Amino acid sequence: MIIQRVVLNSRPGKNGVPVAENFRLEQSTIADTVQVGQVRVKTLYLSVDPYMRCRMNEDTGSDYLQPWQLSEVADGGGIGVVEESQHHNLAKGDFVTSFTWPWQTAAILDGDSLQKLEPQLVNGRLSYFLGAAGITGLTALLGIREKGHVAAGANQTMVVSGAAGACGSLAGQIGRLEGCSRVVGIAGTDEKCSILVQEMGFDAAINYKKGDVAKQLRELCPGGVDVYFDNVGGDISDTVISQMNQNSHIVLCGQISQYNKDVPYPPPLPPDIEKIQKERNITRERFLVLNYMDKQEASVLQLCQWIQEGKLKVRETVVEGLANIGAAFQSMMNGGNIGKQIVSISK
């Protein structure tokens, strides 16, 4: 059976900025027969995420991420529909997902590696299982619950950097739902800031490309910052940390500003900021959602409930066509998206 697939064409280098040409679309084949325990799936949606930048390096810098190999098919979060099954628990027509879905139009996969999906849980929006009701939503929810120490009625202020991104846009809303009294986002355009406030219920948003971020933070968070959901690292995070309160908490979700630099993860703080962190007893612990998979089922159901009730607003940037996945990756890394980056190849 002839298929199309996307392989890693070249590496940008540890300090390089990824471009669409780092990926290559090519024709390939898969077997015509499905063995016992396997299913043949048609790919519907693929997820493009910031962590994938690490997988473009020969050394990912992480013990849980494997590097993509040159001229080999890339993979990540994906959703598809079963077209043929030799697996006891999966039937033709079932919708399934995996964290290691190959970037190709169809595939033969081990049925045990797939999770069956129930579209009604997300009002039929299957792609949400890659975002708000998937690993992205889990990262936001469990990050806040496990590392944010949010307590209803405690009058806490949360700041979210990368707030218009897939995880940040959910984290701000979840912070509110979990009990924060004030939520402030930091994003890179006026449009993004407007969406955060008008659609997603943030109290305020700062365009970090305009004006004095430290001054705006002081005005918008007069009582200081109690919880910081950090997606970006770098200068923005240093500015936020300098205004955090005693015994406050950083949810160390991502450091996208550092992904094109050859630095350890999490990147060390500048000496003056590290001094503030220690003096104020600010927690800054590495957070990995995969360490909390025992809470996955209940957490996904909570996210789905909020989606159904309209309490969790979801934004997606959808790109059509497998051929455009490299461009979608480049756009995401350049901060050009609002919400989750999804590639649809169902047509």
Q: Which residue has the higher pLDDT, 232 or 8?
A: 8
The pLDDT of residue 7 is: 98
The pLDDT of residue 260 is: 45
Residues 6+ apart with CB under 8 A from 291: none
Residue with tokens 């190849």: 345
Q: Which of 14-18, 35-39, 192-196, 223-227 has the lowest mean pLDDT?
A: 14-18
**Domain range annotation of the chain:** 2-131+315-344, 135-290
Over residues 22-51, the pLDDT tens digits come to: 999 999 999 999 999 999 999 999 999 988
User: CA–CA separation, 21 vs 33, rounded Å?
Assistant: 33
Q: Which residue has the higher pLDDT, 258 or 123?
A: 123
Adjacent-strand bridge partners of 2: 29
Q: Alpha carbon of 264 to those of 60, 70, 253, 267: distances in Å?
A: 10, 23, 15, 5
Query: pLDDT class for 235, splitting at 50, 70, 90?
Result: very high
- Mean pLDDT rounded to a whole number for the chain: 93
The pLDDT of residue 259 is: 47
Token pair for 148: 């944010």
Over residues 143-199, the pLDDT tens digits come to: 999 999 999 999 999 999 999 999 999 999 999 999 999 999 999 999 999 999 999
Query: In angstroms, how far apart are the furthest CA atoms of the chain?
Result: 65
Query: pLDDT class for 262, splitting at 50, 70, 90?
Result: low
The pLDDT of residue 266 is: 73
Task: Provide the CATH topology of domain 2-131+315-344.
Answer: Quinone Oxidoreductase; Chain A, domain 1 (3.90.180)
Residues 6+ apart with CB under 8 A from 184: 157, 158, 159, 160, 202, 203, 204, 205, 206, 217, 220, 221
The pLDDT of residue 346 is: 63
Write out the DSSP string of 122-150: GTT-GGGGGTTTSHHHHHHHHHIIIII--
- Whether the Cβ atoms of residue 184 and residue 174 lie closer than 8 Å to each other: no
Adjacent-strand bridge partners of 82: 41
Superfamily of domain 135-290 in the CATH hierarchy: NAD(P)-binding Rossmann-like Domain (3.40.50.720)
- What amino acid is encoded at 337 in this protein? N
Residue with tokens 């994938």: 52
Domain 2-131+315-344 and domain 135-290, same fold? Reply is no
- The three-point CA angle 303-309-312 to 5° equals 50
Residues 6+ apart with CB under 8 A from 152: 178, 179
